[in-house]
Amino acid sequence: MENMNYQANTYDSDYDDEDAVMQEEQEQEVQNQPSQQNHQKIMEKQKIISNQSSIMLTRSHDSSQGSGDCSYCNGKRETFQGLQEGLKSHKSGFGSTKMRCDDFEELLNKGYSRSGTYFYQRNFKMACCETFQYRVWMDKFMPSESQKKAIKRFHRYLNYGTIKKKQGNLNQYNGIDEEQKVEENLDKQQKVNDCNDNINKTSIKVNQSQCKISLENREESEKILRLVKQVVCQNLQSSDQIDLAKVRVSFNAKHNCIATNVLLVIKNLQSIQEQLVNELQNTINTIGEKISFNNIKLENQFINFYQPNTIEFLKEEKQAKQEQYKKEERKKIEKLKKQIDNNIGSNQFEQVRDQYPQNHYKNYLIEYNPQDPIDPNFKPAHSYTIEMRGAFYTEEFYNLYAKYEKTIHKKDREPTNLKRFLCNSPVYDPDRDFNMAMSPSEPDYKYIDSKFRVDKDMGIYPGYGTFHMYHRIDGKLVAVNVIDILRETYVSGYCIYDPEMHFLTLGVVTAIRELEYMRLIKAIYNPQLKYYQLGELAVTCPKVNYKLKYKPGFMICPRTKAYVPIEKCLDQIKILSQMTIEEKISLPYIQIDDYVCEGPLENELLPEIFKEVIKQFPFVYEDTQRLNISALQENGRKLLKGALSEMLMHCGFDLFSKFNFELKFLKEDPKQEKSEKDDQDDTQQQKQVQSH
């Protein structure tokens, strides 16, 4: 299998390697081809159609056979015992060309991944690397500093045509001269200081403009200055550590204390900081009442001297301010919540969007940090628009896809690759997509879009399903996100961007845009939306572990299917990653959740029970007949027994029983000549299982 390269920090996909999926389907497809005469008779019968998710038995397999080198670790594993090489990626999976969106969401909650029409679950004992499903709690997410910088740089390019800040006396980037900018920074610093007072993070900062030394306090200040210099000289190893001329004391009228900057003047402070403060307090205690400011407190690198009872008074004052601040903040939050609740289903957001042209990016987002220009009449250098389209193949999309794959992954891609893995999605909404719901499943992915979907702009919120989020700058397609929108989960499957615009870090920018789009969906259309699913995460692989920058994150435990905070399981996963495959196989199970139970879980008992009824397991043959597994030869029963047993263990009985299992085959196209290799493959696959 070719190794699929991923670009770190650009939000690349964790979709399975396309070449690997195609290889698996050729190796593991189970065919049960009847004679041509019987086949024609069957096709004349009335078709069996149901609004259920379809599982293609011809594309179902267990995890016993490895599928080639892993795209995350290349078949190599660093363990406590040394390097292991030539390892395989073990996973069980199945194909489906008709998957209800609610069933798909349950599969995701069970730890499944999707690549086109292929759904798979890894075997964590035999797996070459520890790869878990990772999702982010959208409500608690806040962009990091690096992500904020990426957004600012992106909007700087949109507004001014460059990502660089202008230099010189006149700051052309924001139209403010440097002197005014300095004044604004000072004002901002003052606001920060006032805010710190309100939230009980008060720090007493002494500067000469705030110090008002009265006659009665001047003498105290001089005494403290002499005392500080004396104690410092006694405790320093060398006089080179401090310049005594820079030591100052000043009276802070706001907090009624005398502060000294001595700690800021001393070099190599850490080794003597506590010793110096303790020595000052001991010296004052021995002096007795000679110094009235005799209570010492270390605050923000300043040593502050208080009078008796002043500290307790300040604590009460700060506590009162804190309560007042919290009360005001609660009022703001309640007001905001009420405003959002009142506007769900109303047209106020529509009125706001009416201010912008169609497809303007602000129509699709509730931004974390809006980057609007100061001047309302400012005209940006570039226009940025967003479109929500169905997961449909277009030449424009293919041109971007081929360019991206060639530049980033060093692979030549054909239109078939795009159609197979990023278009023709099997996911559908059973309430909206009535056409697909009441039609038989397609044996071939190629016809899903052409039969059931139309290529068009779906508006701001298209509902449940698979979609392409188009990002355009000045009308040019620069990035596409392949996404799944479900009831509680937003799946970010793949990001393709124009390599020529790598300087905009579009991988990061479009990821933040997706989260901002989720905020809009939750506020207006679907209040149940909760999780931002980033797919598979291999912690030891630098190609994809950039996903850890999106927090708070959760791993899905492969055994209990619980959402485990990444902070609680990260160390355990790293330990697992350093065990040999043989050591992992010897474990009773792989679990990252702290759940404890005696004996196996219910799902772990199901495969043994299933073995007893495998021969009576029902399926639909070619949309016309209801048969059971006993209709197949022993080889076919054996192949399906392992695949269905693992699927039952991972899905659980409730989800497993919802599926419609089918056995059907591709029809030969008389207009297309088959190659000699295809004929050989078909002959070999038909010999695997013969019709009963």
Tens digits of residue pLDDT in 2-59: 333 333 333 344 444 555 555 555 555 444 444 444 444 444 567 889 999 999 998 9
> Cβ distance 213 to 221 under 8 Å?
yes
For residue 320, being part of any structural domain is answered with: no
What tokens were used for 207?
A: 């500067």
Same domain for 583 and 476 = yes
Number of domains in the chain: 2
pLDDT of residue 360: 94
- What pLDDT sits at residue 558? 92
H/E stretch holding 436 reads helix 434-437
| Domain identity same for 680 and 551 | yes
Are residues 137 and 220 located together in one domain of the fold?
no
How does residue 678 score in pLDDT terms, banded at 50, 70 and 90?
A: very low
The percent of residues in the chain predicted with pLDDT above 70, rounded, is 75
Same domain membership, residue 401 and residue 278: no
The larger pLDDT score, comparing residue 180 to residue 609, is at: 609
- For the segment 384-411, the average pLDDT, to the nearest whole number, is 94
In a domain? residue 264? yes
Q: Quick check: 459 pLDDT over 70?
A: yes
Q: Which tokens is 685 given? A: 């696959």
Nearest-angstrom CA–CA distance, 41 and 36 = 9
Residue 532 lies in a domain: yes
- Residue 110: CB atoms within 10 A of its CB come to 17
Q: Of 283, 308, 333, which marks where a domain is finished?
A: 308
CA 156 from centroid of its chain's CA atoms: 25
Is the Cβ–Cβ distance between 208 and 260 less than 8 Å? no
pTM of the model: 0.69
Burial class of residue 105 (count of CB atoms within 10 Å of its CB; 0-12, 13-18, 19+): buried
Domain that holds residue 550: 18-143+384-686
Distances (CA, A) of 264 to 205, 225, 259, 284, 303: 12, 15, 12, 21, 10
Q: Per-residue pLDDT averaged across 395-410, rounded?
A: 95
Do 128 and 253 belong together in one domain?
Answer: no
Residue corresponding to tokens 């992954």:
409
Predicted confidence at residue 668, as pLDDT, reads 60
Any domain includes 664: yes
Give residue 138's pLDDT. Answer: 96
User: Are residues 505 and 654 part of one domain?
Assistant: yes
Mean pLDDT of all residues in 568-587: 91
* Any domain includes 94: yes
Q: Among 134-138, 373-377, 424-428, which stretch is predicted with the lowest mean pLDDT?
A: 373-377
Domain end call among 279, 308, 337: 308
Mean pLDDT of 272-279: 77
- Alpha helices (H) in 44-144, listed in sequence order: 101-109
Same domain, 113 and 231: no
Q: What is the pLDDT of residues 154-191, one digit of tens each?
A: 999 999 999 887 544 334 444 334 444 444 554 544 54
Look at residue 33 and tell me if it is in a domain. yes
For residues 197 and 660, which has the higher predicted lDDT (pLDDT)?
660
DSSP assigned state of 444:
S
In the predicted structure, residue 319 carries a pLDDT above the cut 50: yes
Residue 682's pLDDT is: 35
For position 204, what pLDDT does the model report?
A: 35
Residue 201 domain-assigned? no
The answer as to whether 414 is a domain residue is: yes
Task: Tell whether the model's pLDDT for residue 404 goes beyond 50.
Answer: yes
Please report the pLDDT score of residue 117 as a whole number: 95
User: Residue 340, Cβ neighbours under 10 Å: how many?
Assistant: 15
pLDDT at 426 over 80: yes
Domain limit, last residue, from 273, 308, 343: 308
Q: Determine the Cα–Cα distance for residues 129 and 686; give it in Å rounded to an integer.
A: 34
pLDDT at 628 over 70: yes
Residues 508 and 651 in one domain: yes
